[in-house]
Structure 1
């Protein structure tokens, strides 16, 4: 298959689709390293920023794997995985990730406040398991997404508000992909990974203490810190 120069408006989406097709057709095989961003940008006729965004989308879909200091490698030839269109937008535009964080802060700060008042012993046990599960993940060199997501899901359930739970479920795909994007910024930085762990611990402790205001503030601090990391990363890449 010949790589075609991108001429449509949604540059990142077009790059994603072409790379998926190339992988599906065996042009790039499982385990193979993709060409450097500079070379791909030249082949596709787009900016390196567009290539970087497309690779982030494919990484979120677990089609390619970004390895710190090594490049991007084809992770699977199963490229039929669903990538929510809005999630693609979030991953390709850091501003959209920031918008998502604003929504999460509105919902999850209140969820933490309510959880401090309403969480059952079983909820507390599940929250604690998710916190320690995250630590296990990062100690194994992973980004910690599975238990990070679980922590926030359990916390929403612990608020005991069915409308809030429904709202969180409706944006779960966005939260999942946005979370992957933000956690990947911590790769190779153990201090930042442990900051997330400590922030989760503070939220959990406030809920255990039945201190609704402290739980609310701990959640706000956690999400504000995520925002700062995105802004810092954007300054580095620009």
Structure 2
């Protein structure tokens, strides 16, 4: 399969995107050698520097290995390599947070249905220990953002689907990176209670109830965060007005 010509704008990123799509489609497999730079220049209708930049992007993403004097080869790509929050977070701004929450609402509740079918007793016990540690950290006044996020990741891991897990982990890490500020105490207490209730539904293997509860949990958390953002912005506006000379 040949690469299709693309427009000149953001050509390197579009070229890299084409290659990733072909890998996901199984056209190119681990160990396969990519076309030469000259062939890619012709197929993409771009300059050699653009091709080299695209290959460098893929190398940074751990998708391609560039071997001097030999060419570029597809690496053994896992789902985690194609969804790197540390890289794509640079493209996310506050306006995209709602899109991330919406994507989470699409994916995570459906994933938990499979978790209810596949989770083992050992995995349930491990999540219970996590929640106990979460509660101890909360009582001690320590930050609980990490165990709160880890709870959702462990549930996704128990689904047995690495692609869903990669999406969910990426979304949660991106949301965490763009968290407005430390959540209020009452939110943290409520979050822990809801996590325990959600685990109870998972333990009962009730996929429908767990999915419905998780949707409410995601939406309620988003509404609390949005309200907090609005309040902080209002206070900032008041301070700015007060500080402005008359």
TM interval, short-chain normalised: 0.5 to 0.7
- Tell me if 1:184 matches 2:181: yes
Alpha-carbon distance in 2 for matches of 1:121, 1:210: 11
Alpha-carbon distance in 2 for matches of 1:129, 1:158: 15
RMSD: 2.4
Give the superposition deviation at 1:183.
7.8
* Pair 1:129–1:220, CA change in 2 (3 A): same
1:72 maps to which residue?
none
2:222 maps to which residue?
227
Alpha-carbon distance in 1 for matches of 2:163, 2:87: 25
Give the superposition deviation at 1:220.
0.8
Alpha-carbon distance in 1 for matches of 2:174, 2:139: 22
Alpha-carbon distance in 1 for matches of 2:195, 2:180: 14
* Pair 1:139–1:180, CA change in 2 (3 A): farther
Q: TM-score, normalised by structure 1?
A: 0.56
1:106 maps to which residue?
106
* Pair 1:140–1:184, CA change in 2 (3 A): farther
- Tell me if 1:175 matches 2:177: no
Contact 1:134/1:145, CA 8 A, preserved across alignment: no
Structure 2: which 5+ residue stretches go unaligned? 1-84, 235-246
User: Where do residues 80-229 of structure 1 align in structure 2 (5 Å cutoff)?
Assistant: 84=86, 86-88=88-90, 90=92, 92-93=93-94, 95-169=95-169, 171=170, 174-179=171-176, 181-182=178-179, 184-186=181-183, 189-229=184-224
Matched residue SS, 2:141: coil
Q: How many residue pairs align between the two structures?
A: 150
Matched residue SS, 2:160: coil
Tell me the alpha carbon deviations over residues 118-170 of structure 1, each in whole angstroms, 9 at most, x when there is no partner: 1101110122122222222222223312211211111011112233224335x
Which range moves more in the overlay, 219-228 or 176-185?
Answer: 176-185
Structure 1: which 5+ residue stretches go unaligned? 1-82
Question: Which structure is larger by alpha-carbon Rg, 1 or 2?
Answer: 2
Q: TM-score, normalised by structure 2?
A: 0.54
Alpha-carbon distance in 1 for matches of 2:139, 2:191: 13
